[in-house]
Structure 1
C-alpha cells in the first residue's frame, strides 16, 4: 500500500509521461480516483517539491517530475511486472523471434529497430568486451577469379567479413596459403593484440602475395574493426518527435554525440545489475541532463551477450520500456542460449 505522497508522485509521473503537460491538483482529481481534497494534494505536492522530487515550471502552475523524482519512481513506485509486456511490441517482436534461422546479430538489429519505432526512442547495442575475445580463424571464400570474401571469426561467435578484389597475378592458391600462414601465427590471439601481430607479420604477407599492399590493408582494416568497441545505433531520428529535443537542437546534438561514443556508453552502463536505469546526470557527472538510459544485459552464454539500451528524455514510460527489454532478453536466451542459460521448462 502506497503512502499518500507516494501515490500522488506516482500519478504525477505517469500523467506527465503520457502528456508532457505539467500537473496540478485539479488534473489529478479529474483523472484519478483520489480521496483527497485539492488543498491536501497541493500540500503534498509542495512537500514533494521540497524533497526534490518535483519541479515547478515557469510557464504553468503545475509541477513536473525531477530526475530525482523519476529515480524514486523507478526504484519504489513503478509496477515492475515484466510479464506485462505491451501487446503491440510483443506481437512485433514475435515476428522477428520466430525466424530461428536468423543469426543473433540480425535478430538483435531487427528487434532494436522495432523497439525504437514503437517507443519513439533510440536504441544502442553494445557487443561483448573485445578485450576478452580471441581470434578463432580467418577463412576465405572465393567469389571469382580475382575476388573473394574473408571471414574473421572470434571464439565468441562474432564474425566480421571483408570482400576485396586482388590483382590477376595473385592466384587463389597463393591467397589460401597466405591465409593459412596468418591463421598459424595469430589464431588464438587476443583481439586487442591483433593489429600489433598483423604489423609484425606484414613482411611475410607481402612476400607471399607479391608485395600486394592492397591485400594487407584488407586484413588490417577488418582486424582493426575487431579492436574497436562494437556498437550499433538505431532510431535516433525518433528522438526528434520528442518535445524535449525538437525544440532544443543543441541538446539533441549533445545527446547524439554522447550515444555515438562507445567509451561514454560503456562508462555509463558498466554496472553489475542486469537491468539498469540511468536518469539524468548523476553525482559523478555521468550521463546527461534530461536524458534517460534504460539498459538490459543480454547473457546467452559463451560470451555472446552484450547490452541493449533505450535512450530518450527522462519523461519516458519506464514500465513499458523495461518490460519490453526484459521480454526480449528472455526470448533471446530461449532461442540462442546454451543449456546453462535456458530456463528450466519445469
Structure 2
C-alpha cells in the first residue's frame, strides 16, 4: 500500500513526533533525515499520507501528527521483528535487578510493576494470577500454639495461601498431621472449583473422629479459595504521566488516574483483548472506552510451563516509544517467566 519513500517519510514523522510531541513539518524531516528528496517532495508525500489516513493536521498548525492507523502500521512492523534479546545490555540489567533479592512468587509478581515502571519511566500495571484452574498441591496444618493453627494451601502454580485457624479445643501436632494427610488424600490435585464440589458432597464424613475440626476448617478453606481465585491489580508510577506534555491539562491527568485505578476496567481490557502473541498492543481509538481514546497499552504475559498466570503492561500516550518499550517488555516478561519457572522447579 505504501511505497518505500512514503514509508520513510511516515517513519520519520512517527519517530520525530514520539520524541518531540510537536506537529512535524516537511522542513524538520528534510533537516533531520537524509531521505534524498526535497522539502517539496516530502510535503507532497505527507499530503498523500494524510489522504490515506496515516497523518492528521492539527488545527492552527502547518505540521502533521501520526494517526492511530499510522501507529498500528508502525507497531505491526515492529512486532514482525524477532530480535534476539539474550545477552543484551538491557537483558543483563534486568537479570541483575532480579538477582538482587530472594523472591517469593507472589512478591515477584506484585513488585514487577514497580520494577518495570522504574526501567521504562512509564506507568506499569500487573494483574495477579487467575487461579480457578490451579490445583491443590498440598494442604498443611501446623500448630503455632495451643490456641492457633496455621493452615497453608500450596497450588501447582506456586501460589501459597496462609490462614490462621483458632480451634475450639486444643489439637495436638499428631492430630493435625493426621487431619492434614486426610485432607491431602481427598483434595490433592483438585482445582478450586472441584474443591467446592467436594465440600458440598460431604466427602469428609468418614473422618467422624475429627468431624468438628474439619467442619470448622471448611469455611476457612472456602475463604482462602475465594482469595485465590480473585484477581488483584497493582500499578506503579501513576505520576509519571505528568512527564508527557499531553498531560499538562489537569482534567486529562484526572481521567488517566481514574482509568488506571479502575480495576474492573483495566482487567476487562487485559483479559478481553489478548491474542496468541507474546505482546499485545492496544492503541488509542482501538479502545472501546471513550475517556481513554488517546491512551495506548502494551501488555505481555507471565507463564509457568504453558499456563499464563499473569499479565503485565505499560500505559501511556499514543505516541509511546513503542520500539524501546516493546523490546524492554519482551525481555522483562521473559526474565520474570524464567524466574517463576525456576521458583516452581520447572527449570
| Pair in the same fold by TM > 0.5 | yes
- State the alpha-carbon separation in 1 of the partners of residues 306 and 92 from structure 2: 28
1:295 is matched with 299
Pair 1:209-2:213 in alignment: yes
1:125 is matched with 126
1:324 is matched with 328
SS in 2 for 1:226: helix
- State the alpha-carbon separation in 1 of the partners of residues 264 and 121 from structure 2: 16
1:225 is matched with 227
Spell out the pairing of 1:1-346 with structure 2 (5 A cutoff): 3-76=4-77, 80=81, 82-83=83-84, 89-90=90-91, 92-99=93-100, 101-126=102-127, 129-162=130-163, 164=164, 166=166, 169-173=169-173, 178-198=179-199, 201=202, 207-209=211-213, 216-229=218-231, 231-245=233-247, 247=249, 248=252, 249-257=254-262, 261-269=266-274, 271-282=275-286, 285=288, 288-301=292-305, 303=307, 305-332=309-336, 334-335=338-339, 337=341
Instruction: Describe the shift of the 1:135–1:52 C-alpha distance in structure 2 as closer, same or farther (beyond 3 A).
Output: same
Structure 1 stretches of 4+ with a deviation exceeding 6 A read 84-88, 202-206
Instruction: Give the TM-score, by structure 2 length.
Output: 0.78
Cα deviation for residue 320 of structure 1 reads: 0.9
- State the alpha-carbon separation in 1 of the partners of residues 73 and 10 from structure 2: 9
Residue-by-residue CA offset, 1:5-58 (whole Å, 9 max, x unaligned): 111111211122122222122222333333332222222122112111112222
Give 5+ residue unaligned stretches, structure 1: none
Instruction: Give the TM-score, by structure 1 length.
Output: 0.79
Q: Which stretch of the first structure deviates more once superposed, 301-310 or 271-280?
A: 301-310
SS in 1 for 2:65: strand
When the two chains are superposed, the root-mean-square deviation of aligned CA atoms in Å is 3.8
SS in 1 for 2:31: helix
Instruction: Describe the shift of the 1:186–1:81 C-alpha distance in structure 2 as closer, same or farther (beyond 3 A).
Output: closer
Cα deviation for residue 229 of structure 1 reads: 3.6
**Does the CA contact (< 8 Å) of 1:130 and 1:192 recur in 2?**
no
- State the alpha-carbon separation in 1 of the partners of residues 193 and 116 from structure 2: 32
**Does the CA contact (< 8 Å) of 2:25 and 2:64 recur in 1?**
yes
Give 5+ residue unaligned stretches, structure 2: none
SS in 2 for 1:132: coil
- State the alpha-carbon separation in 2 of the partners of residues 228 and 201 from structure 1: 25
**Does the CA contact (< 8 Å) of 2:151 and 2:162 recur in 1?**
yes
Cα deviation for residue 72 of structure 1 reads: 0.6
- State the alpha-carbon separation in 2 of the partners of residues 32 and 255 from structure 1: 37
What is the count of residue pairs matched by the alignment? Answer: 335
- State the alpha-carbon separation in 1 of the partners of residues 29 and 335 from structure 2: 38
Cα deviation for residue 323 of structure 1 reads: 0.9
Q: Which stretch of the first structure deviates more once superposed, 102-111 or 272-281?
A: 102-111
Cα deviation for residue 61 of structure 1 reads: 2.5
- State the alpha-carbon separation in 2 of the partners of residues 225 and 154 from structure 1: 13
Cα deviation for residue 79 of structure 1 reads: 9.3
SS in 2 for 1:114: helix
**Does the CA contact (< 8 Å) of 1:10 and 1:78 recur in 2?**
no
Cα deviation for residue 68 of structure 1 reads: 1.0
- State the alpha-carbon separation in 2 of the partners of residues 131 and 167 from structure 1: 28
- State the alpha-carbon separation in 1 of the partners of residues 130 and 18 from structure 2: 34
